[in-house]
Structure 1
Amino acid sequence: MSDSTALDRNNGKVALRAALFALGMLALAFASVPLYRIFCQVTGFGGTTQVANEAPGAVAGEIGVRFDANISRDLPWNFEPAATVRIAPGARTTVNYTAESYTSLPTKGTATFNVTPVQAGQYFSKIECFCFTEQELAPGEKVEMPINFFVDPAILTDPETAHIDEITLSYTFFPVEN
């Protein structure tokens, strides 16, 4: 076998490996958003809340939950938070945000959310929430948007969160393009 043939074979192997590496990186780029979302939901990273089917039941103690409402300037709605509540950890709680459309056309919005302090995200669980789906408002329509949630009682015994007296749940609505 000549040196030229061996060199061509080695160059072909390097080219194949580089192409496979590039395809792997491209696949990882597409998978990174869903993987990051799953990571945040499992760990509560960055104030990501949890989703649950039911509350475990109230335990002794009390924690405040404050609500925040924000809206993109591109969405012609008024969005108001619920009043601050003090709840027993583990108790199922329902509050209502309100939204009102200020346009003459139907509009859709979707809400992003987070919890602060971020360490509390893993203990804040939503049972039902308007943030799970797109919301559509008719012209001039005003609606209540409920959220059913609980704060896991484990927040009281975790050394990272035992000092937390109040959690803030914040939503920001953005327009959904048709």
Structure 2
Amino acid sequence: MNGSRRNTLMAGGLAAVIVGMVGMSFAAIPLYRLFCAATGFGGTPSIGPAAAPGGNGQTIRVRFNADTNPALPWKFAPDQKEVSLNLGEQQVAFYHATNEAAHPVTGMALYNVTPEKVGKYFHKTACFCFNKQSLAAHQGMEFPVSFWVDPAIRQDPSTSDVQVITLSYTFFRSLEDAAETGALAKAGPHVGPLSARAAERPDAN
């Protein structure tokens, strides 16, 4: 093999490696999210079509947390700070957001649960995450989330002592903003539509 042909083959091989590495980098976040959703790793709630089995008489508390990335001029908070629910029983909770800017602004929410070890037992069946939400100037909107906690959490020695789960949502202006903070890699995926109550809040200016 002459030197020119060898150099051509080496260049082609190097190009293939670079293309493969670029492809893997783009696939890394979606694959990580699928792994988290299947295993509950990193506090990612379990996602799937499984229906709530019904209450078993045991209860657990779920706290609701809300954060807003500084780039998004919204006020965002849960309607309730905490609920007590029966294990295995479906629950619906609401968050609300108000656009404090004098012009329309679009945001997108990500979520997670803590402690991280309960992720596989926290089942979200519908929410507003990963959908672009657009609010007009000073408009307010309520966003529902539907979930249930698997009774198996009490049979697992590593989670049997957990009495409180915190469900956290963070609104970002874009997925790019979320990726820069590292939040995107740990976020659970969207699980289907649940219509938001899109009425103007009474306190909107």
Q: Give the TM-score taking structure 2 as reference length.
A: 0.76
AA aligned opposite 2:16: L
Deviation at 1:16, TM superposition (A): 4.6
Q: CA RMSD in A?
A: 2.0
Bigger mean CA offset, 10-19 vs 83-92: 10-19
Equivalent residue pairs, number: 173
Deviation at 1:132, TM superposition (A): 4.1
Determine whether 1:129 maps to 2:131. Answer: no
1:79 is matched with 76
AA aligned opposite 2:62: V
Describe how 1:135-146 pairs up with structure 2 within 5 A: 135-146=133-144
Runs of 5+ in structure 2 lacking a partner?
176-205
Residue 129 of structure 2 aligns to a residue in which SS?
A: helix
1:110 is matched with 108
Deviation at 1:21, TM superposition (A): 2.9
Runs of 5+ in structure 1 lacking a partner?
none
1:38 is matched with 34
Larger radius of gyration: 1
Deviation at 1:115, TM superposition (A): 0.6
Determine whether 1:57 maps to 2:54. Answer: yes
AA aligned opposite 1:162: S
d(CA) in 1 for partners of 2:156, 2:38: 17
Bigger mean CA offset, 50-59 vs 119-128: 50-59
Deviation at 1:29, TM superposition (A): 1.4
d(CA) in 2 for partners of 1:28, 1:176: 22
Return closer, same or farther for 1:19/1:77 CA change in 2, 3 Å cut-off: closer
Deviation at 1:136, TM superposition (A): 1.4
User: Sequence identity of aligned pairs in percent?
Assistant: 43
Q: Give the TM-score taking structure 1 as reference length.
A: 0.86
d(CA) in 2 for partners of 1:22, 1:158: 44
1:159 is matched with 157
Determine whether 1:66 maps to 2:63. Answer: yes
